[in-house]
Structure 1
């Protein structure tokens, strides 16, 4: 059926679509939201999916983080914890 064809498309199809959904949803939620007080630029954090990284930018409750394995990603501050 069409399910396996969709799964076999170049670029994975599946992995790119959820990222866009999360990104657009986070933009809407973050409007006017104040970020956490316990995070600062250059601070080391941990993300369940992307692993360890350092905060490169803070914009309200959105962070740009340079992850060791995943590269630079934009995530909401509620999805990271301060690295031990």
Structure 2
């Protein structure tokens, strides 16, 4: 069994919270599951934390992009699968 720590519960909004000791090395904003069994609580971390995407590192990095010209937006028509649902052959 590991080292034992003491913590005190306190009111936080409409909930009751328990401050976890820093010595446990728990990072902030982590998600947890709590299971109550006959008055004992088991606390477990939920999976890996999702990495947050930092748009600041990407913004402005694609400097060679230019808007499409109207003539580049034209496409030749071609038969599509859903056009052939009536059993006809492609033109």
TM-score computed with the length of structure 2 as normaliser: 0.21
TM-score computed with the length of structure 1 as normaliser: 0.22
More helix by share: 1
More strand by share: 1
> Which structure would you say has the larger Rg?
2
